[in-house]
């Protein structure tokens, strides 16, 4: 009988995401696409709340809780959403959360 062990603890996904988040935090105003920018607000109950901007318009926010990233776009098809029309979703990476906010804004 072949026995396998899954006790290799050399890779810690939480530590990996924490390191990635630290690098992300150091790039205070990273340009995503030509007209999209990111910044982060001070830590609050969610940890750092990241904001995605298109010119002077805040188009959405995202944050990490545990191993998931939660994105909340404020626009759909270029039009501002009412608060009740939330399109909030969770993702495995911050890049996916950012892309979701941008796709909602652009209507794609």
Give 54-99 pLDDT, tens digit per residue: 988 899 999 998 899 999 999 988 788 876 567 889 999 999 999 9
Stated pTM of the model:
0.65
Residue 34 lies in a domain: yes
Q: Find the domain containing 85 and state its range.
A: 13-106
Q: In this structure, is residue 67 part of a structural domain?
A: yes
The answer to whether position 6 is within a domain reads no
Instruction: Assess if residue 7 is contained within a domain.
Output: no
33 DSSP assignment: S
Query: Is 84 inside any structural domain?
Result: yes
**Cβ density class 26-45: b for 16+ within 10 Å, e for less:** eeeeeebeeebebebeeeee
Domains identified in the chain, total number: 1
């Amino acid at each position: 009988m072949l026995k396998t062990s899954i006790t290799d603890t050399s890779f810690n996904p939480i530590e990996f995401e924490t390191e990635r988040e630290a690098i992300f935090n150091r790039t205070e105003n990273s340009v995503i696409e030509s007209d999209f920018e990111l910044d982060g607000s001070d830590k609050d109950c969610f940890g750092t709340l990241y904001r995605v901007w298109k010119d002077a318009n805040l188009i959405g926010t995202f944050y990490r809780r545990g191993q998931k990233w939660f994105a909340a776009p404020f626009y759909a098809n270029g039009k501002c959403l009412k608060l009740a029309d939330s399109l909030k979703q969770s993702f495995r990476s911050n890049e996916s959360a950012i892309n979701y906010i941008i796709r909602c804004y652009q209507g794609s």
